Every structure is written in structure tokens, then in C-alpha cells.
Structure 1
């Protein structure tokens, strides 16, 4: 059975909006302000994670963004990302921008639950914060992995927005990545 794993960069205060500063958000660009000399260590963590995954689950905007960044690249990490199955949740798309994609247009809960039964292994959700909020609301997230960057943004879209229920978590691991990034991994605690 598959596991839905949310994996993202976040500021210390939980902001996930416009890390590269290309979306028009006044406080965007915080990733470059905080990654410093830790870029290689950060990249190694995300490559290791991708190599262990079976599929990606994305929203429409994230599918377009990742396709624009990865389709022209080569190498082990790029090859893995470009060839792995991608499932893109959208009410408007007919086909995905990134290679090897399937559009999910039906009932989110039913479609993702079915996906978890079909895929044996990790299904990563990168970016796609509206989708992440919906998945958390529907109890479909199994694990949350955060790369906490050493920066406070102050305002902006946060990974954990308003929800309809409390989401209990159990710490799996935590470690320093490079000199200033903290990796934190939590599993979602399900009621018995």
C-alpha cells in the first residue's frame, strides 16, 4: 500500500509561499536568502528521497513549474523525476505538463485512496499547497517531511493553514542538513 508523503521547504515560521521570488509575492525569494552554503547538502537529501519514491502527486501549477525546471535536465536525479509516474489533480487540465503524467479530475478522496491502493511505496507531494491542505482535511496524508530553512518570513501562505480537525503527529526523525537547515520527519497518527 502506498503512503502519501508531503515533502517541502519551509521557513522557520512555516511560510511556503514563493521561495524563489518568482511569483510576485513581496517577501518571496526567502530560499536563496537562507540556503547559503548548504545547497549541496539540501539537494542530496531531496535526491535521496526521490530515488526511494514510486510516484509524485501534484497540483496543476506545481506540475507546470516542475516540468519547466526538470524536463531539460539529465543525470540520475533528473532521470528519476522525469520518468516516474506523476498524478496531477486538476479540474481544468486534459494532460500534464511533466512527462509520464495522469490527470486526476474526479473525487479527490476516492481517487487518492485508490492511488494509495494501486501504488506500493512512497507517493511524494512537492509544493502543491492547496492540494496538501485538501489531502490533510481528508485524512489522506501519512507523513510530513520538512526542510526548515533558517529564515523568518513573517507573512505568507503557510503549509499548515486552517483545518477542520486536529492532526496528531509522531516524530520519526530530525537532523541537521548542512550547517543551518533542519530536516524534520513526522508520521500522521491515526486513531485505532
Structure 2
């Protein structure tokens, strides 16, 4: 059985919107000034470790528009472009990015099937609405928050507004350059 690992760039106040840039958001690209070789190596390690990516439609479209054009010498782009990618969407029917497929059926059922079928890490990045659904249904095994030392004050948040509590067990904390911190939490996952 695999593990669902959610990895997100977030501000101190929990905003995850447009960290690398997106038109229409007033704080777009808020992580760009913090990109260091250490952060790149951390993100590369996450991708190399993963067996597959699980993405929402908007994140898939963003990644599919960018990653096929990247090349590097350390295998990051190659892994992103060749690893299996599973997309939760009700609007896309044709996925052009290499090794991509649409998850069929209700999100909860299809993600459970995917987690059971993959031996290793299924990485989820971005994909706010998908992450909210996964958290609400206890389908996240590990949560990795790369917290940037900035308060944005507005924007889409990584956590859903919910009446339910989501218990977290702090697994580790790693401080990177420029005050960027990676907080890792384990969650109790329902079967």
C-alpha cells in the first residue's frame, strides 16, 4: 500500500495561492525570492522519492504547460516528466503530458484504490480543492509544509474550513536558508 504525501508551499498565515506566479493574484510569485539550491534539492528529493503524482486539474494544467519544456542535469525534470501522473478532473478528457491518466469515479474511492495499488509515495502538490477533500476524508498520510517567512493576508489557504478537527503528529522540522522551514506531520489515515 502506498502513502499519500501532500507537499505545499505556504505562507506563515497558511496561504498557498500562486507561489510561483499566476495572473490575477495580487501576491503572485511570493516564493521566488526564496529559491535557493537547498530548497531545490529538497524538492528534487521529494520528486525522486515519489512513485507517482496525484494532481487536481488546475495544477495538472499548470505543470503540464511547464515541465515538458524543462531539462536539467540532476534528473528532476526527467522524473517529473516520466513518472505516472493521476489527475482528478471532471472536465478534462485528453491528457497530453507524458504518462498521465484520469482517475475514474468519486475522489474518495478512486484515491483509496490508487493508494492501495501503488507501492510507495504518491505525491500531491498544489491542488487545493483535492487536498481539502483528501484531508476531510482522512486520506493524507503525511503533510509537508514548506513555510515561507511571509504573511500574505489573503488568498487560497492550504486547509479547508471545516467543523472537524484534523489531528497531526509532528514528525520533524527542518530549517532551510532565508528562514524557510519544512514542517512534516503524520496523520491518522482512515482505510
* Shorter-chain TM-score above 0.5: yes
User: Matches of 1:80 and 1:22 in 2, distance apart?
Assistant: 24
Find the counterpart in structure 1 of residue 54 from structure 2: 57
2:146 is paired with a residue whose SS is: strand
Alignment of 1:1-192 (within 5 A): 1-33=1-33, 35=34, 38-75=35-72, 76-190=75-189
User: Matches of 2:15 and 2:41 in 1, distance apart?
Assistant: 22
Q: Answer whether contact 1:5 1:124 (CA < 8 A) is retained.
A: yes
Output one character per residue of 1:125-177: Cα deviation in whole Å (capped at 9) or x when no partner. 01000110011111111110011011110111110121242110101110111
Q: Answer whether contact 1:175 1:182 (CA < 8 A) is retained.
A: yes
> Alpha carbon RMSD of aligned pairs, Å?
1.4
Q: Answer whether contact 2:4 2:141 (CA < 8 A) is retained.
A: yes
1:111/1:173 Cα in 2 relative to 1: closer, same or farther (>3 Å)? same
1:99 is paired with a residue whose SS is: coil
Deviates most, 171-180 or 9-18:
171-180
1:24 is paired with a residue whose SS is: coil
Structure 2: segments with no counterpart, 5+ residues: none
TM-score w.r.t. the length of structure 2 is 0.93
Q: Answer whether contact 1:20 1:30 (CA < 8 A) is retained.
A: yes
- Deviation (angstroms), 1:29: 2.5
Aligned length: 188
User: Matches of 2:155 and 2:76 in 1, distance apart?
Assistant: 30
1:29 is paired with a residue whose SS is: coil
- Deviation (angstroms), 1:190: 4.7
TM-score w.r.t. the length of structure 1 is 0.93
- Deviation (angstroms), 1:41: 1.1
1:97/1:62 Cα in 2 relative to 1: closer, same or farther (>3 Å)? farther
